Every structure is written in C-alpha cells, then in structure tokens.
Structure 1
Amino acid sequence: MIPCLTIGPKITMANKMNKMRKGLEVITGQHKEFKLTECTNANEQTVTDVRETSSKLERHIVGRTKEKDKILAYLSESMINEITVLPIYGIGGLGKTTLAKMVYNSPQFKEYSQVWVYVSQTFDLKKIGNSIISQLSEKNREIAYTEKQMIDNYLQKLLANKNILIVLDDLWENNKSHLEELLGMLKVGESGKVVVVVTTRYEDIAKKICTIQPHKLAPLKDDECWTIIKQKSDFESRYDQQELRHIGKDIASKCRGVALAAQSLGHMLHSLPFDE
C-alpha cells in the first residue's frame, strides 16, 4: 500500500499537466485556425468577428511598461505634422490592445480630446467616422450620418483647432486606397494636431497606414507569462502552490510569449484544484 501512496500524487499531477497541455494545444490550434500569424494576408481572413474593445485599462498589466514608455517618447518626438500615425502590430493575443490602452490612458495625452474606435474585420469608413463624431460631440451622439460628405464636413469642424488622440483598434483593411481615404478623413490642416494609434496583426497594413516607424510588439518572456498565470489562477491564495508552481512554469514556457494564452491557461488552472 505504501508504494500506492507514493505513486498516487504523481499520477494526479501528471493527469493535471496532461489536461493543461491539451488546453494549450487547443489555444495554439485556435491561433492557427484563425490565421494569427505575422505573415498571413488580411484578405484571407473569413472568421466572423464577435469581439469588441474599449479604452478601459485593466488593473494588473504584465510586461509592457517599457514598450509604453518607448512609444510615448517616440510620439513626443514625432508629433510635428498635422497627423501622426503609429501602428502597433503583431500576432493575435500578444497584447496590442492592452498596449494601446496604456498609451491612451497616459497623462501625456490628458489635455487631448480622445477617441477609441474598435474597427474590426469589417472595414466601414462611415461607421468609423460616426463613432468619432459621437465621441467628440455632445449634440450628435445619437445621429448617424449616412453620407460620407456629411461625415467629412462635420469631422473637419470637430477636429479643427484641437489636439486629438484617436485609437483605431484591430484594423484588418489592406486596401491602400481605403486606408488613404481613412487618413484623409482625419486630417485637419495646420490648425490642429491628430495623433492616431493603430493596432493590427499585419505588418503590411502597418506599413501602408503609418506616418512614422511602426512598433512591432515582442512576445512576453516566460517569467512574464508565469506571472499572468499566477494572477489568473489566484496562486497566492491557494494551498497547492507547490504543485501549481511546477505545472505553471512548465506551461508558461510553452505559451510562446502570447499573453492571451497565459490568461486562458491561468483561468483553466484556477478551476483545477489538485484534490479533485
């Protein structure tokens, strides 16, 4: 019976690790299925989009402070033209939207009028224009202009003589003429200044829309993924920290620096106590 007592916990841990590895395989498979790679052409994407984002910043962010400071410093040096466009690009789940939120909520832009637009896979120039108008104008929040000329005219009035920060989150549009039309809609002339931060999964889109060097988002380090896993698994309040640490660090090394994978696996660990 004594050998059974010794082997039993090892088998349980092995089973837990196997579950976690299978979970990681599922997440990795989703990345492949949804074509979340840097070299993928955006026009190949056919997945129905159900996600939406906002500018609200999470309380505990891991590993992006240096990149935020770098972007803020770069923008500060580069905002000499009427419109400055800085894209942040990288595969899905790395944390592009989170980094954009950190820039958006920075004190550096506290004197700016601010707009957050979730663009999505369906590029709709009128929808983008109406979203900007509704966020900048108290009088026109319930009005949706149907003609592009009306949108352009009203945007010129709203943006004139102002400093504006606009985040265009999750841009998939690859047509250069459409992107030029978007930028043209946001230009206000010498009387104002518009700073645009764009997030996209694709380097070619970043290069087409940028006015300054795009920022390629690097993967997180393994220890940063482990920190995220600990946060999401409520590590500090658990009694099985020794077992969880062994599994968590092993899994963190397989996240490939993808923050979303670490978050998902942390939540999965949270629901898998070792005394099941």
Structure 2
Amino acid sequence: MAKKMEKMRVDLEVITDQHKKFKLMADTNANELKVVDIRETSSMMEAQIIIGRTAEREKLLASLSESVTGEMTILPIYGIGGLGKTTLAKMIYNSNQFKEYSQVWVYVSQTFDLKKIGNSVISQLSEKESQYTGAQMIQSSLSKLLADKKILIVLDDLWEDMESHLDNLKAMLRVGKGSKVVVIVTTRDEHIAKKMSTIEPHKLAPLTDDMCWSIIKQKSDFESRDDNKELEQIGMEIAMKCKGCKIVKDDLIHQWVSLGFVEPPDVFSSWLLGERYIRQLLGLSFLQNSKSPSWRCDCTDGLCGTPVSGKSSGGL
C-alpha cells in the first residue's frame, strides 16, 4: 500500500508539471457540461431477497410509530458507505406503515442545493415540474402542499455539514401548518445525523459474517456451481473480510508523514494534523474504531505478539 501511495504521489507531480509546462487552461464552457451522477438513487426496490436488515426495519418502524407526534419527525440513518443505508430507507419507504402518506424521495448528493431539494419535493407532491428560482416562492409552494397532510420524505445521501444549511433545510420542511411530516435521512457523517435528528439517530452496524456469506452465495449463484464444495471455505474467508482489514492508527499517521501527505501549517505538528485527519475520517464513517485492540510488541523483530506495557496502539 505504501508503494502504491508513493507511486500515486509521483504521478500527481508529473501531471502538475505537465500542466505548468503546456500552460493548460480551464475550459471556459465547463459550466455547460452536464455531469450524470451515477450514484443517484430512487425509491424502487429490486426484486430480490434483502438479507440482514428486517429486524432493524421493524425496530425503526416501531420507533417512528411512537415518535410521530409533532409536526416533523426526523430519523437519520448513518454508517460506513456500502452498509445498506439506502436499502434500509427503501424498506421503510415501501412499508405498509406509510401507505396513507404522500411520499417523496430526494437524492441529495455531495453537492448540497437547498432550492433543488425544495423543487424536487414540490414536483413530486404536485406531480408537476417545479423550477422555482426564488427561496420565497419555494417556501410559499411548500406551505400549501404540506399543510394538513401526512408526508414521508427520504433525503438520501446527505453530506452537507454546515449547521446553518442544515437548519435552513429543516425549516423549509417544517412550513406545513397542521401537517405531519416524517423525514428519513441517510448519511455517512455522525455529526450530520445528530444535527438533523429529532429522535435518536440509528447507526447501521456491519452485517455478520454469516449474512455476508449469504449475500456472496446469492450474488454468485453459488449453489448451482459444480465446484461449490471446494470453494465454500474460500468464500467463507472472503465473507469474514467484508468488515475491513485492521489498521494501526499510529502506523497510518507515520505513513502519511513519511510520504508527504501531511504538510502541517505553523500551528500544528505533523502528528497533531494526522490525528485530526483520523478524527475527521472517523466522523465520516470512512474509518471505525476497532472493537478488539491491536497491540504492539516490544521485541526487536516485532513477531512475539507481546503488548507493550499493556497499552493499545489504537486500532482502526
């Protein structure tokens, strides 16, 4: 991994040098290009068996049933990318519990656009294309559409962490007089989840090894293979790795510093800045704290496995 990272750094330096040498200029018509976000989601459920989230769906539906008392209830679902946050939101969205609700699904993405979100809600509730450019027009339209109604809104893939923007988002969805609005938010960021929530956010845990093995078998059509007995042990070992390989935090920071990825300003040392990056990655659910600590040994070859004074090295 260290060699790959070093090669990447060298490649980036070559690209930068070429940019300067050939005096490359930014395309002035770049704003006219339309970029399609391949991560965009919808409420449609695939016609296949969902493994491992049924119990959580029932738990969250029960929690929402007890909590939907005020004008707006917000339940965030957060966790590492790829765990199934969007799938769990779809399971709630398509449940019988909300069949009497008007329903809205908004894919937010990393580019936060409050007007785009508002127009998407208006379009889906009114069944007419909405392209309001002014915030006041959006608010007025939402006030009419949300008033005295039961509405379920899913905000999928929320990345915006600026508190004022999140407050404006909540205020925009709270304008319906006499309405009962339930909002499901999916995000990787625990900070966002806590800022948005009106009830306890739900942290999505990784699937068990058995569940991961079941998914692998389903996706690979394992049971129909002639060699499934020979491959079963290999498949189970792969399933056990789905939760991630452990990383020693101190070693990771040392690699960043040695490869020049951490270039601190005057107010921080390299180590303090590395620690700060770790905290940010933990907050984004890119890394997680390891449940079982990793240990450093005090022998010269690093092979004995004896902990140093019983201190954890900070596993991730």
Residue 182 of structure 2 aligns with which residue?
195
Structure showing greater radius of gyration is: 2
Letter in 2 for 1:125: L
Question: Displacement of 1:49 after TM fit?
Answer: 5.6
**Does the residue aligned with 1:62 lie in a helix, a strand or coil?**
coil
The yes-or-no answer on 1:56 pairing with 2:44 is yes
Residue 242 of structure 1 aligns with which residue?
229
**Does the residue aligned with 1:178 lie in a helix, a strand or coil?**
helix
CA RMSD of aligned residues (A): 1.9
State the percentage of identical aligned residues: 71
Residue 122 of structure 1 aligns with which residue?
111
Question: Displacement of 1:245 after TM fit?
Answer: 1.1
CA contact (8 A) 2:142 2:176 kept: no
CA contact (8 A) 1:90 1:200 kept: yes
Q: Distance in 2 between matches of 1:202 and 1:179?
A: 13
CA contact (8 A) 2:139 2:175 kept: no
- Structure 1 unaligned residues grouped into runs of 5+: 1-47, 258-276
Distance 1:160 1:189, change over 3 A: closer
Residue 20 of structure 1 aligns with which residue?
none
Residue 137 of structure 1 aligns with which residue?
126
Residue 156 of structure 1 aligns with which residue?
143
The yes-or-no answer on 1:82 pairing with 2:71 is yes
Q: Distance in 2 between matches of 1:205 and 1:188?
A: 21
Letter in 2 for 1:67: E
Work out which of the residue numbers 159, 165, 170 in structure 2 matches 1:178. 165
The higher-RCO structure (CA 8 Å, 6+ apart) is 1
Letter in 2 for 1:91: I
**Does the residue aligned with 2:198 lie in a helix, a strand or coil?**
coil
Question: Displacement of 1:244 after TM fit?
Answer: 2.3
Structure with the larger helix share: 1
Letter in 2 for 1:233: S
TM-score for the superposition, normalised by structure 2: 0.64
Letter in 1 for 2:99: K
Question: Displacement of 1:243 after TM fit?
Answer: 2.1
Q: Distance in 1 between matches of 2:154 and 2:111?
A: 17
Question: Displacement of 1:189 after TM fit?
Answer: 4.7
Which 10-residue stretch deviates more, 121-130 or 187-196? 187-196
Q: Distance in 2 between matches of 1:244 and 1:95?
A: 26
- Structure 2 unaligned residues grouped into runs of 5+: 1-35, 245-316
Letter in 2 for 1:60: I
Distance 1:90 1:167, change over 3 A: same
Question: Displacement of 1:137 after TM fit?
Answer: 0.7
**Does the residue aligned with 1:184 lie in a helix, a strand or coil?**
helix
4+ runs of 1 displaced by more than 2 Å?
none
Question: Displacement of 1:182 after TM fit?
Answer: 0.4
